[in-house]
Amino acid sequence: MTGSIGLLAAAIAIGLGALGAGIGNGLIVSKTVEGIARQPELRGALQTTMFIGVALVEALPIIGVVVAFIVMNQ
């Protein structure tokens, strides 16, 4: 894809990746806070699991950027 269509595809890939990651991170953190409020003694375990989940969710926009660069270079 060349020209403006390639740029549009790249922008959509990055934008949707960022939007999905933002929603996912919000849900993960809110449920973690909810779990800590219910069982404060599990705070450490819940935070560890939360950070792993956030890291996995943050991989999505990075993959979107890579796909965008691939599309732009074709």
pLDDT at 21: 94
**Which of 53, 55, 69, 73 lies closest to 13, judged by CA?**
69
Q: Which amino acid is at 46?
A: L
Gap between the Cα atoms of 72 and 52, Å rounded: 31
Residue whose tokens read 């929603």 = 23
Q: What is the pLDDT along the chain (74 residues), one digit of tens a residue?
A: 557 888 888 888 899 989 999 999 999 999 999 999 999 999 999 999 999 999 999 998 998 899 888 888 87
pTM here is 0.81
CA distance 17 to 70: 15
Residue 5 confidence (pLDDT):
84
Cβ atoms of 61 and 21 within 8 Å: the answer is yes
